[in-house]
A and B are shown apart, each in its own frame.
Chain A
Amino acid sequence: MYRYDTLDKEFLADRSAEFRHQVARRLAGELTEDQFKPLRLKNGLYLQLHAYMLRIAIPYGTMDVRQLRQLAHIARTYDKGYGHFTTRTNLQLHWIKLRDMPDILDALAEVDLHAMQTSGDCVRNVTADPRAGATAEEVDDPRVWAEVIRQFTTLHPEFSYLPRKFKIAVTASPHDRTAAKTHDVGLALKRGRDGVLGFEVMAGGGLGRSPYIGQTIREHLPVGRVLSYIQAILRVYNRLGRRDNKNKARIKILVAQMGAEAFAREVEAEWALIDGSQVDLPDTELARVRAFFATSFETRPAISSIFESAKQEDAGLARFARNNVHAHKAAGYGIVDVSLKAIGETPGDCSAEQMEAIADLAERYSKGEVRVTHEQNLVLPHVALDDVPAVYAGLKAAGLASANINLVSDIIACPGLDYCALANARAIPIAQDIAKRFSDPDLAERVGELKIKISGCINACGHHHVGHIGILGVDKKGEEYYQLTLGGSGAEDAEIGKILGPALPAERVAGAIDDLVEVYLRERRDGERFLDTYRRTGLQPFKEAIYAEAH
């Protein structure tokens, strides 16, 4: 993991002191809320329905034990004892008092954490594959690049007042777990035909009210040139992005209006004029950053007899192993997903006690590391297979052993109308209803991979456009209704879902999901996921099942 040294720590201390001063000016009435708003947003502080909400950055979703314990401490001391992991792999605390903010930022800084650029029209938290450094699929460690991009874009003087927010994801595996194509810029590390490492650069993806899939603007960018290329993209966007209408200000609109090829030409022209030696990092610095991410593994047999016999004896563990334990690059290790989607709970919520339990397990069994996924789950990336039974037992004791990764109850949901001032409808209770309906784990496993994503409004924080089943809350004359979309995907086969038909009232949503699943189980052929069946059959059979009775 990247470790802050004195210089990084001083940078954070200065930022914290600056905000303490700004909060004091606000509390003394020297700044109005209007003047204070852009300042607090740059520190991740929103004013929501009931209180201030603080969004803490977890850079590329990577935490160590000390950081997770501090987050638990902050949640307990300054909030209601829990936090909410988001699709940007950040942690949100929803009940914050303004006067506590400076102390919270200091507490975060103690463990090299911050809330910089988790809001506002700037480059947001950079995300990366949660299995980085653990999966055999990757061609390089994306965290190295995510970290140097994080540093480069932190308080960048030219790009802190962009037309709109700007999100970057870095992936290095053919299987994309970052939703790179729904980002303003998605970077996919690949080897060229000559074996040289490069980035495929995708731009102009995004969800929200006008969803777009990112388009490739450069097939193979030499890795060492990524910062100057990002500078070129940001400069073109800063100069040409629309500023007359907030809803048309994201880079996706610029790319769509110019056309990806014209946009790419503009970026290349700007890039050609940038002096790369002033922007791109020297190899010594890249090597310094890279060294932080090296992890060593003991030599272990590929098959663990302890794990195998434990699975024989415990069907619960066997189920957990099938759904939550994934192949690791080192023999005898596994990547363990920790589901924050217990049936009936709020997706992404985690109590202070649970954070501490996970931290304890990570310290003992996962080389002190924890990851956050954009699907609002956590990961213990380096668990020896021998230790999986102990990890499972520890998770079970903390109420964290739901064996539902990628299954129907592994739902992404935004906070919705329960918390958010922008929402039209609640998202969390809908997620809970659906999860309860599919609480039989055998049924859930029979259905297999099914990604349901729920947003409480058109801003699409719940990524409904790219759900295999997407659910969007809408307001119909003061009533909460839900529009269903099918066939979306945020992975390497990214696609925007298609609207199934007229919106349904809240009480019909869970039943409709049941009906859609039945159509799938009836229609599916060998090995097909829900998404594959939909792609083969199209919307029609699903539509009939939901709307037939209305005709």
Chain B
Amino acid sequence: MPKLIRLVGGEFVAEDDRFTNVADDESAPKGDVIISLTRFQSEGDALLADGRDIGVRIEAGETVDALTYDLPRISLVALNFPTFRDGRAFSSAALLRERYGFKGEVRAVGDVWREQARFMVRCGFDAFEPVDGSTAEAWAQASGDFRHVYQRAADTLEPIYVEREAKHGL
């Protein structure tokens, strides 16, 4: 069963991953690859020249600001959660979407659980590699079970006070 879940047109679907995740000490195979930030900075141009899609893996301690000018050239940013408790990737995702206008895939990798699904979706993640065996259905349920939110984020939900104004025609 594919372990990648993607959010496509508002639906969560399980998909086979067309990207190969490549460690720094491995040579890059043919096809689409996800590589580290350091490797992208040294080999990115050459790999892109092959005509393939490139994803960049950002560790929790790295900043997405380093990618700003390269974002139009890359297809995917994978943000790593070294542990469930480490929330730095939430800010990275929010910045990619809100500040840098990144339209490609933002993927959650590492210690990824369904309990974070809603927060991840709200911060702009649209692909997930859960470690808890979640199905696409479980992911959809976990991310969609609240009717309201109290603040804007990278998703399209409007906060409660906007809903309220609309409701009362203010």
Contacts and interface: CB of A to CB of B under 8 A. Distances in A.
Whether both chains belong to one complex is answered with yes
Interface of A: 5, 7-8, 10-11, 14-15, 17-18, 22, 35, 38-39, 121, 151-162, 235, 238-239, 243, 273, 275, 278-279, 281-282, 284-285, 288
Nearest to B95: A235
A288 B164 CA distance: 11
Nearest to B118: A157
Contact of B150 (A10, A39, A152): A152
B146 A7 contact: no
B70 interface: no
Interface stretch (B14-22, B31-39, B84-92, B101-109): B84-92
Contacts of A7: 148, 160, 163-164, 167
Contacts, number: 96
B26 interface: no
B91 A14 contact: no
A375 to B, nearest CB: 30
B109 to A, nearest CB: 16
B73 interface: no
Interface string B68-94: 000000000000000011111011001
Contacts of B167: 7
Given A7-B160, A11-B147, A284-B165, A158 B85 contact: no
B86 A243 contact: yes
Given A11-B160, A284-B170, A285-B161, A155 B150 contact: yes
**The 3 A-B residue pairs with the shortest CB-CB distance in the complex, in nearest-first order:** A161-B87, A157-B122, A157-B119
Contacts of A238: 87-88, 90-91
B153 interface: yes
Nearest to B125: A157
9 contacts: A155-B119, A156-B151, A157-B118, A157-B120, A158-B87, A162-B87, A243-B86, A279-B152, A285-B165
A157 B150 CA distance: 10
Given A155-B149, A158-B123, A8 B160 contact: yes
A279 B151 contact: yes
Given A38-B85, A157-B122, 8 more contacts: A10-B148, A14-B148, A39-B115, A157-B120, A158-B153, A161-B84, A235-B91, A281-B161
Contacts of B147: 10-11, 14
Q: Which of A38, A121, A158 has the most CB of B within 10 A?
A: A158
B146 A159 contact: no
B135 interface: no
Contacts of B151: 151-153, 156, 279
Contact of A17 (B60, B115, B145, B149): B145
B90 A161 contact: yes
B99 interface: yes
Contact of B153 (A15, A157, A243): A157
A15 B165 contact: no
A11 B148 contact: yes
Contact of B87 (A17, A153, A160, A288): A160
B83 to A, nearest CB: 9
A156 B122 CA distance: 9
Nearest to A121: B85
Nearest to A36: B115
Contacts of B152: 278-279
Contact of B94 (A22, A158, A282, A284): A158
B142 to A, nearest CB: 9
A17 B145 CA distance: 9
Contact of B145 (A18, A151, A159, A162): A18
B134 interface: no
Contacts of A282: 161
A26 B146 CA distance: 21
Contact of A160 (B94, B119, B170): B119
A8 B160 CA distance: 8
A59 to B, nearest CB: 13
Contact of B123 (A10, A157, A275): A157
A38 B115 contact: yes
A161 B85 contact: yes
Contacts of B146: 11, 14-15, 18, 155
Contacts of B115: 22, 38-39
B150 A159 contact: no
Nearest to A7: B160
A157 B90 contact: yes
A281 B147 CA distance: 20
Contacts of A155: 119, 146, 149-150
A7 B90 CA distance: 26
Of A7, A10, A282, chain B has the most CB atoms within 10 Å of the CB of A7
A102 to B, nearest CB: 15
Of B91, B147, B153, B163, chain A has the most CB atoms within 10 Å of the CB of B91
Contacts of A153: 151
A232 to B, nearest CB: 11
Nearest to A281: B161
Given A7-B148, A151-B160, A278-B152, A38 B88 contact: no
